[in-house]
Amino acid sequence: MSDPLLDVRIADAPPESPAVELPPLDEGPAGVRQLVEYLALRGLTGGLAALPASLLRPLEALLARALPTLDPRHAHGARDFLRTAFPEADPGEVEELLRAAYRHLIDVTLRADRLRARMVGHRIGDFFDLELCDEARELFEARGHGQGVLGLSAHLGWWELTGHVLIPCGLGPAYAIIKPPKNAFLTRYMLRSRARMGALCLPRHGAMRALPALLRAGATTQLLVDQRSVRGWVEAPFFGRPANCDRTFGVLARRVPKPILVYACLGTEDPERFRFVAPRVLDPAEFADLQPEECAARVNQHIESLIRMAPDQYFWLHDRFRGRDPLEPSSAAS
């Protein structure tokens, strides 16, 4: 039996944004140095992305093997993170996942923009397989009813492509919180490429003033809350280890009770085919009586479940436990 959602077209016409005042976004400096950096980066990534797969894939693998040595700070943090998540893994398995993390990040960086552009005008089913729980399917088939959706995900898989499923299925416009690069030209390019699809960006500072109004107006908020929080954080276990966790999700779930969609977009062996998975839709009432630490702990459990679906596609390179006591090998083994 065919899935009607797979026949929905990915349009190049973003949905109308609600009339909500958004916080200003600091684009960063826009001098000659920033322009040269922007042109150099766009030229390099564009040239590499244009290589045929037969050349690009081996090059990515070569870079992934070299980068742990060339980038020791991030590699050290990633090994600590991986030992936390997989205490049973031996050193060889940790190194294999570390290289996979570098390779995946390179792949997303080089190909996400071109993939987004190529998908426009095609059916969702031309690029995506949908693995939706019953509640998520009901939400998608009802086109969200304009009720607003609180999206919960992580820096996993092809998070840059999720809007190509959410927005055509009526769960748009979609807003994500970002920390813009310190380069106005890069920031403007990033905003343009996302805005064409109705995936809009909010600055980290001031986002909480706009998010409740956006949700009430029927927008989708995409919260990727798997990274270390530096302001107003609460402590909760992440893969069983105390971590600085963002409290935004718990505050929103209590203040604006909307359906909570847990989702991710994962790559497959085919470089142009993806799995959009939505294993559950949470009832915001689950968070109504919880303390901020309890909210964060519950959110982390759902994020961990997503990450375990494809650990080779997760952003382990983020130093998740910076400022915390380092994990000793004996502690990891226990």
pLDDT attached to residue 11: 80
| 12: phi then psi, degrees, rounded to nearest 5 | -100, 30
What is the average pLDDT across 36-45?
93
> Which 3 state secondary structure label does DSSP give 245?
strand
Q: How far is CA 65 from CA 108, 146, 176, in A?
A: 17, 46, 32
pLDDT attached to residue 332: 41
185 close to 34: Cβ distance less than 8 angstroms: yes
Partner residues linked to 281 by β-bridges? 261
Q: Using CB atoms within 10 A of its CB, is residue 31 exposed (0-12), middle (13-18) or buried (19+)?
A: exposed
> Mean pLDDT score of the chain, rounded to an integer?
90
pLDDT attached to residue 161: 93
State yes or no: pLDDT of 159 exceeds 70.
yes
CA angle 229, 235, 237 (to 5 degrees): 105
Return d(Cα 154, Cα 158) in angstroms, integer: 10
Q: Using CB atoms within 10 A of its CB, is residue 289 exposed (0-12), middle (13-18) or buried (19+)?
A: exposed
pLDDT attached to residue 326: 66
Q: pLDDT band at 105, cuts 50/70/90?
A: very high
285 close to 268: Cβ distance less than 8 angstroms: no
State yes or no: pLDDT of 330 exceeds 50.
no
State yes or no: pLDDT of 333 exceeds 80.
no
> Which 3 state secondary structure label does DSSP give 83?
helix
> Which 3 state secondary structure label does DSSP give 176?
strand
CA angle 101, 207, 261 (to 5 degrees): 60
pLDDT attached to residue 306: 97
274 close to 165: Cβ distance less than 8 angstroms: no
Provide the token pair at 13. 């016409």
pLDDT attached to residue 329: 46
Residue 118 CB coordination number (10 Å):
14
Better pLDDT: 173 or 133: 133
pLDDT attached to residue 235: 93
% of the chain at pLDDT higher than 90: 63
317 close to 102: Cβ distance less than 8 angstroms: yes
Return d(Cα 84, Cα 328) in angstroms, integer: 10
What is the average pLDDT across 230-254?
90
Q: pLDDT band at 13, cuts 50/70/90?
A: low
Q: pLDDT band at 323, cuts 50/70/90?
A: confident
- The verdict on pTM exceeding 0.85 is yes
Write out pLDDT tens, residues 265-283.
999 999 999 999 999 999 9
% of the chain at pLDDT higher than 70: 94
Q: Of 250, 258, 231, 260, nearest to 296 (Cα)?
A: 250
State yes or no: pLDDT of 14 exceeds 90.
no
Partner residues linked to 129 by β-bridges? 275
Q: Of 60, 94, 7, nearest to 327 (Cα)?
A: 94
Write out pLDDT tens, residues 183-230.
999 999 988 888 776 778 888 888 888 899 999 988 899 999 999 988
pLDDT attached to residue 295: 94
What is the average pLDDT across 43-68?
92
What is the average pLDDT across 220-245?
91
Which sign does the torsion angle of CA 287, 290, 296, 299 carry? negative
pLDDT attached to residue 59: 93
Q: pLDDT band at 90, cuts 50/70/90?
A: very high
Q: pLDDT band at 21, cuts 50/70/90?
A: confident
State yes or no: pLDDT of 146 exceeds 70.
no
pLDDT attached to residue 144: 53
Radius of gyration of the chain from Cα atoms? Answer: 20
